[in-house]
Amino acid sequence: MSFTRIFCKAIVAVLIAAPVFAQDASGFFRDILMSGFVDAYYAYNRNHPATPCAVVNGIQIFNCLHAFDVAQSMFSLNLANLAVEKVPTPGSRAGLRVALDFGSGAELIAGEQSEPNTRSQNLLEAYGSYLISERAGLRLDVGKFLTPAGFERIDPIRDWNASRSLLFALAIPRDHVGLRTVYTPNAHVAVIGLFANGWSDTAVNPGGKLAGLSVSVRPFDAFTVTETYLGGTETSDDLEGWRDLSDTVVTGYLTHGLQFAANADFGRDRRTRQSWQGVAAYLRYDVNDWFAVSPRLESLHDPDGFMTGVAQDLQEGTATAEFKPAERFRIRIEYRVDVADHPYFLKSVSTTVRTQSIASANCVVFFNSTLRKEQ
């Protein structure tokens, strides 16, 4: 059975079950939240590459080093997402979240995992939760969840640009399978701890395990700093196989309508003696309720070819215009230029050049609703 049928049946099943959830007397289903989005795009690569620079899990990547907008001169579905979530509460301490994804983005995410080409690759998230202490703000999650590292997210609604950064595409993992604790003692501090199989590994890899700690501090409403460390025996069970990642994110408001963000990543792999570093800077200016502009600049240093396969330095500049014609509808028009310090990007049939320029249009429709019986 194709996943298209599975995805459609899941939607129908949830819609049919919604009235039952809303009338549930046990309390578990009273706070069920449904959410989802459809993320589609059209990208035009001025290099007109005739062959892909890579093939990941069956998906041809023509826009080299891009995370999701990899097709050129064609309409493409990045992700169709459907999620069901029950947040633990003092009256019902058990919870869950299951998020299904379909589209080329799901295949690309799964291509980085230890078990691609399986049905489980379309489970973007699947974990159970338990509220240990409401007073301490302590929750335990068990299952598959997204990484705490990075400023940008898979969910397009949370991002300022249509395309994902080089840091998102290359410098950090996508997800983890294991245990996660979330500790929020107050409105100014949040701590996430995790212990998982490894770097985007859905199953145990040839090495060992990964541990992580993410601390977010908001000293005042207009400024937040988040520091995340991920480390573990990725390629072997001893310290020789250890991989480290330090990820720092700073966000805030300069004025009422002007936001800024910065992201820095520093990583190394001891077995291969490879390291990587990168920084990205963002601005977002909300001109009015229906229009915003978001520039992004970043630089990535890959001296040992760990991320790109070639020792090189990369820069990237992006300008995004976002339109909001309706409350749950976004249109993003974007122009992006990637630059390498030596010929790397494909042009025409077999030529390589230092630059890659891509114009794209992105459309996102999303929804969320609480299936809750009115008291």
Paired with 37 in beta bridges are 81, 366
8 Å CB contact between 233 and 195: no
User: Which residues lie below 8 Å from residue 60, measured CB to CB, with a gap of 6+?
Assistant: 52, 70, 71
Measured in degrees and rounded to the nearest 5, phi and psi for residue 16 equal -65, -40
pLDDT band at 2 (very low <50, low <70, confident <90, very high): low
8 Å CB contact between 284 and 251: no
8 Å CB contact between 177 and 205: no
Residue of 122 and 95 predicted with greater confidence: 95
Q: What is the mean pLDDT of residues 2-6?
A: 51
Report the pLDDT value the prediction gives residue 271, as an integer from 0 to 100.
79
Helix (H), strand (E) at residue 155: none
Report the pLDDT value the prediction gives residue 137, as an integer from 0 to 100.
87
DSSP letters for 128-144: EEEEEETTTTEEEEEEE
Q: Tell me: the pLDDT tens digits for 224-256?
A: 999 999 998 876 666 677 889 999 999 999 998
DSSP letter assigned to residue 165: P
Sign of CA dihedral 118, 124, 128, 132: positive
Report the alpha-carbon distance of residue 5 to residue 106 in Å, rounded.
16
203-204-207-213 Cα dihedral, nearest 10 degrees: 80
Question: Domain holding 11: CATH number?
Answer: 2.40.160.10
Report the alpha-carbon distance of residue 1 to residue 99 in Å, rounded.
19
8 Å CB contact between 280 and 265: no
The number of distinct structural domains making up the chain is 1
Whether residue 374 is predicted with pLDDT greater than 50 in this model: the reply is no
Q: Which domain holds residue 300?
A: 3-371
8 Å CB contact between 233 and 207: yes
Report the alpha-carbon distance of residue 58 to residue 110 in Å, rounded.
11
Type of residue found at 236: S
pTM: 0.88
Sequence-ordered alpha helix ranges (H) in the chain? 3-22, 104-111, 166
Type of residue found at 161: N
Nearest to residue 172, comparing CAs of 247, 235, 110?
247
User: 328-342 in b/e burial notation, b at 16+ Cβ within 10 A?
Assistant: eebebebebebbbee
8 Å CB contact between 88 and 49: no
DSSP letters for 68-113: S----SEEEEEEEEEEEEE--BTTB-EEEEEEEEESHHHHHHHHTS
Q: What is the mean pLDDT of residues 163-177?
A: 94
Paired with 55 in beta bridges are 60
Report the pLDDT value the prediction gives residue 140, as an integer from 0 to 100.
97
- Helices and strands: H and E segment counts in the chain: 3, 20
pLDDT band at 373 (very low <50, low <70, confident <90, very high): very low
pLDDT band at 113 (very low <50, low <70, confident <90, very high): low
Structure tokens at 282: 């963002």
Nearest to residue 6, comparing CAs of 105, 101, 106?
101
Structure tokens at 117: 């080409």
Report the pLDDT value the prediction gives residue 338, as an integer from 0 to 100.
97
Report the pLDDT value the prediction gives residue 1, as an integer from 0 to 100.
47
pLDDT band at 315 (very low <50, low <70, confident <90, very high): very high
Structure tokens at 307: 């991320």
Q: How many residues does the chain have?
A: 375
8 Å CB contact between 258 and 284: yes
